[in-house]
Amino acid sequence: MDTHDVSDVPEYLGYLQAQKQNLKKAQSVKGHPATPQKSKNEILKQFMFRLSKSTKASVSLTNIRSSFLPPAYPPCVRPFNELKKVMIKSLRLETHHRGQYLLVRTVTPTDTMTAVMAIVEDEEGRVLMLQLYNQGQELSDAQCLKTGTVLVVKEPYVKVMADGDYGIRVDHLSDVSFIPEFGDLVPLLWRTRVTQADENSSSWKTKGSEHFHEGDYRSAIQCYSKSLDTNPSPELLVMAQLNRALCFLKSHRFDAALRDVEDVLRASELSEKALFRKAQALYQLRRFKESCETHAVLAEKYPNNTMAVHEYARASSRLLEQESGKYEFKKMILEAKKRQPPTLDRGTYIGPVAVKQTQSHGRGLFTTEAVKAGDLLFCEKAFAHAFHYENGSKDLRLLLNVDTDKATIGTQGELIELIVQKLYKNPSLLPGFVDLHHGTYKSVDALEMDVSPVIDSFLVERIISLNCFGCPLLSRESHIKTMKANDDTAKTAKKQFHSSGVWSMASYINHSCLSNAHRSFIGDMMIVRASRDLPPKTEITFWYQSPINCDPKEIPVNLQHWGFKCDCLLCKDTQSHHRSVLSNRNRILAELKGLFRRVKNNLRKIEDTLSSLADTYCRSAYEVPRLALVSPYMSLAAIYASSQNFGKAVEFGLMCLESLGFVIKGGNVPHVSDLPLVVQKWGLVTDTVVGCWMMLCVAYQALAPTLASQAEGYARVSYRICVGEDDTFDQTYSRLSDRVDGFLTTAK
C-alpha cells in the first residue's frame, strides 16, 4: 500500500527474468558435489580482496542495490539431537540437507552487503562462503562475527552464487547457532585453553562483565549463562541473573529479561534492580499498565531512585495515551523531524473499533459506536518501521521475489530483517504477528524447537508484502508539497514512498474505493480517522490504491496482489459502462486540459465542456463520485475566485465537493438568512478538499459572511483527516492568504 512497486517496469522486470534464468541454470547442477573449483588459498585471497575494496568504498549518491529472495523453503524444525553431522565434502549443490547439521568456524572477518558474509571452514579444513541473511544489524560493531567464531548451521542449503562460486545460504535465524568458546560442540582443535581456575562461577561472571563493557552482549550472555550453570552461590546467582537481564535489555530481548528478573523477584521480591529492570522490560513490550504497577512498588520502596521516578513518569504518559487517545501532535511532529530514524516514544490508542469477520473479505475492522468525520479511530505505533531518508546517501534496495514475481524499491528488505529479529528476540509477539493475512503461504506449525523460537523468514516476507504500508516522514509535509506544487488531485493521488512499516491494527482494514477512513503518518505513528460520519457496526475501509488518478477507461484499481477485486459501487459503475462511453469521457478530459491552457475568453466553453463531461455519468454523484470532474471543477472555481467572481467560485467549489460525493445544504448564493451550511454526507477526502473549503470560506466572506467560519470549520476537519491532526492548521491555512485556496506558502 503506497509502496514503490516496480514489478511492471521493464527495467526491473529484466532483473526478475535474469534471476529466474539463473535459478533455472542452477537447478541443472542440483545434487552435484559442492566442491569449490578454487583452492582454499584462492577463496581466502579473493574474499579478502573484495573486503578491502568494500571497506575503502566512499559514500556516494543514492544507489539501488538488488536483493533476491530465493524460492521459499521452511526452517529446520527437528530437535538438534536428531540431526547428524555433515562435512563440507559431502554437501550437494542446490540442496537442503534435511536431517543434518554443519559445524564450522569463521576464518575471515565479515563483509556485510545484503547478507553477512564470511569464509568458514569445517574440522577437515575445507572452506565455503557463508551468507547469513537478516542478521546485518545484529552482527555489527562489537557483536560482529570475530574470526574463529564457531557456528552450527542446521539443514544447510548450498547454492550457486551470482559469480558462479558456491556458498551456504541461511535465511532463517533459527537455522544458525553461535557456539560459545566453552561449548561442548567445539572440537578440541578449535578450543582456547581453559585452566581449572577459570572454570568457577565467579570467573565466568567476571568474563561476562568484560564482554558487557565492550558492548558484546551475545558473548556476555553466554558467560553469564555459564556462570549460572557452574554452581553459583545464592548471592552470585542473583548478580549473574541481574547482569544477564541487563544484557537482554541492551540487546532488545525483553522476553528473556523479564524471565530473569522474575526469577530474581521470586527469591527477593523487593530487589531494586530487579523491579527496575522488570518495569523496563514491560515498557519495551508495550505493557504499560504492568510497567506502571511495577514502578508503583519501586516508588514506594525506593523513593530516592531518580531514574526510576523519570521512567515512571514516562510509562504513565504512555498509559495515558493508550487509554485516552490524547497526543501532543506538535511535539510529535518536531520529534519526528529531529530523530533519525523517526521512531517516536508513544503509546498506541485503539478507539471505538474491533476486528470482526466480514461477509466476503475475511476479517475487517468495524466501529463499535457512532463516530463523526474527523474522529480518531486509532493511533498506532508501528510494529516495525524502516525509514529511508529521501535526501540522504543511504542506498535503496530493490527487493525481487521470484515466487510472487514482485519487485519493490524501498526499505522492505530492511523491514524483513527488523521484524525477523524482533520476533526471534521476543517470541511472545509471534502469535499476534503470524495471525496477520499471509495469503496461501503455508508455514511450519512449530513456533519453538530446543527452547528457541522458530521464525520462518519467508512467512514474514509474505506478511510484509500483503500488509506493509509505504509512508512519508510526515503526512503534513506531503500535503504541503502537494499544495506548493499547485498540483491537482489527479496528479498527486498516486503517492509511492520508500519508507515502509507494518501496523498490525491497520492491517485488518479492507480496501474500498469509496473509503470511509483515512490514514496519515507522523514518524512511525499511523493515525486513522473517520472521513465521514459512521454508525455503529460499520466496516472501516480505506484505499490500498487510490482511484483518483486512474485512467477513466480502466477499472479504478488493481488489487490482484491482495487476491481480490474491489466490488464497490465505483468499480461496478465503471465496469457497467460501455468502453465507448469511457473513451468519450477520456476525449472530453483531454479537450478540457487544452482549454485550461488557454483560459482567456474560454470560460464559457470550459463550462459547456464540463457539462458534457458530467453527462457521461449515469448515476448521481451522491451514489458514485464523479472523479473525472474533481480537478476541472476546482481549477475553474479557483479561476473565478482569483478574478473575484465569488458567486461563480462558490458554484463550482460546491460542484467540486459534490463530485467527490459530498451532499451539502445551505451553501448556495445568494444565501438564505439563518440557513446554516451543513454537510449532510461526507464524500471522499483528498488534499484538494481542504483548499476547496478554504476557497469557499474566502468567497463566503465576501458574499455570505455568516458561512465563512462554517466553511473554515469544515476545512479544519478535512485537514485533520488528511494529515492526522489540526494543531498545525493555522500554520498552514488562513483566509488572509494571498492564495485563493487559503494555503500559506510559508508553511513548512
Q: What is the pLDDT of residue 56?
A: 61
Q: Is 599 within the bounds of a domain?
A: no
Instruction: Tell whether the model's pLDDT for residue 81 goes beyond 80.
Output: yes
pLDDT tens digit sequence for 618-652: 999 999 999 999 999 999 999 999 999 999 999 99
Last residue of a domain, one of 165, 190, 215: 190
C-alpha R_g of the chain: 30
3-state secondary structure of 213: helix
Last residue of a domain, one of 140, 162, 190: 190
If you average pLDDT over residues 362-384, what whole number do you get? Answer: 98
List Cβ neighbours of 319 (8 Å cut-off, separation of 6 or more): 288, 289, 291, 292, 347
Q: What is the pLDDT of residue 7?
A: 86
Q: Are residues 171 and 65 in the same domain?
A: yes
Q: Is 416 within the bounds of a domain?
A: yes
Q: Are residues 317 and 337 in the same domain?
A: no
2 Rama sector, left if φ>0, alpha if ψ -120 to 50, beta otherwise = left
Q: What percent of the chain has pLDDT over 70?
A: 95
Last residue of a domain, one of 190, 210, 227: 190
Instruction: Tell whether the model's pLDDT for residue 58 goes beyond 50.
Output: no
Instruction: Tell whether the model's pLDDT for residue 612 goes beyond 80.
Output: yes
Q: Is 635 within the bounds of a domain?
A: yes
Q: What is the pLDDT of residue 732?
A: 98
Using the structure block, give the residue that is written with the C-alpha cell 479557483. 638
Q: Are residues 508 and 400 in the same domain?
A: yes
Number of domains into which the chain is organized: 4
Instruction: Tell whether the model's pLDDT for residue 197 goes beyond 90.
Output: no
Contact by Cβ (8 Å): 135, 173: yes
Q: What is the pLDDT of residue 552?
A: 56
Q: What is the pLDDT of residue 595?
A: 94
pLDDT tier for residue 17 given thresholds of 50, 70 and 90:
confident
Q: At what angle do helices 201-213 and 234-250 cross, to 10 degrees?
A: 20
Q: Are residues 180 and 49 in the same domain?
A: yes
If you average pLDDT over residues 400-419, what whole number do you get? Answer: 92
Q: Are residues 496 and 637 in the same domain?
A: no
Instruction: Tell whether the model's pLDDT for residue 193 goes beyond 70.
Output: no
Instruction: Tell whether the model's pLDDT for residue 1 goes beyond 70.
Output: yes
Instruction: Tell whether the model's pLDDT for residue 54 goes beyond 70.
Output: yes
CATH number at residue 266: 1.25.40.10
Q: Are residues 538 and 421 in the same domain?
A: yes
pLDDT tens digit sequence for 119-174: 999 999 999 999 999 998 888 887 888 999 999 999 999 999 888 899 999 999 99
CATH number at residue 453: 2.170.270.10
Q: What is the pLDDT of residue 673?
A: 80
Q: What is the pLDDT of residue 575?
A: 84
Q: Are residues 394 and 503 in the same domain?
A: yes
Instruction: Tell whether the model's pLDDT for residue 720 goes beyond 60.
Output: yes
If you average pLDDT over residues 657-667, what whole number do you get? Answer: 97
- Please give the Cα distance from 171 to 577 (Å, whole number): 49
Instruction: Tell whether the model's pLDDT for residue 198 goes beyond 70.
Output: no
pLDDT tens digit sequence for 200-222: 999 999 999 999 999 999 999 99
Q: Are residues 297 and 404 in the same domain?
A: no
Q: Is 577 within the bounds of a domain?
A: no
Instruction: Tell whether the model's pLDDT for residue 545 goes beyond 90.
Output: no
Mean pLDDT score of the chain, rounded to an integer? Answer: 93
pLDDT tens digit sequence for 490-504: 444 457 899 999 999
C-alpha cell at 190: 578449535
Q: Are residues 148 and 208 in the same domain?
A: no
Q: What is the pLDDT of residue 553?
A: 55
Q: Is 363 within the bounds of a domain?
A: yes
Q: Is 569 within the bounds of a domain?
A: no
Q: What are phi and psi of 259, to 5 degrees?
A: -65, -45
Q: Is 634 within the bounds of a domain?
A: yes
Domain that holds residue 140: 4-190
Q: Is 612 within the bounds of a domain?
A: no
pTM (2 d.p.): 0.94
Q: Are residues 725 and 740 in the same domain?
A: yes
**Tally of CB atoms within 10 A around 380:** 23
Q: Are residues 281 and 353 in the same domain?
A: no
C-alpha cell at 419: 521484524
Instruction: Calculate the CA 380 to chain-centre distance.
Output: 12
Helices (H), 326-474: 329-338, 412-425, 430-434, 457-467
CATH number at residue 21: 2.40.50.140
Q: Are residues 214 and 161 in the same domain?
A: no
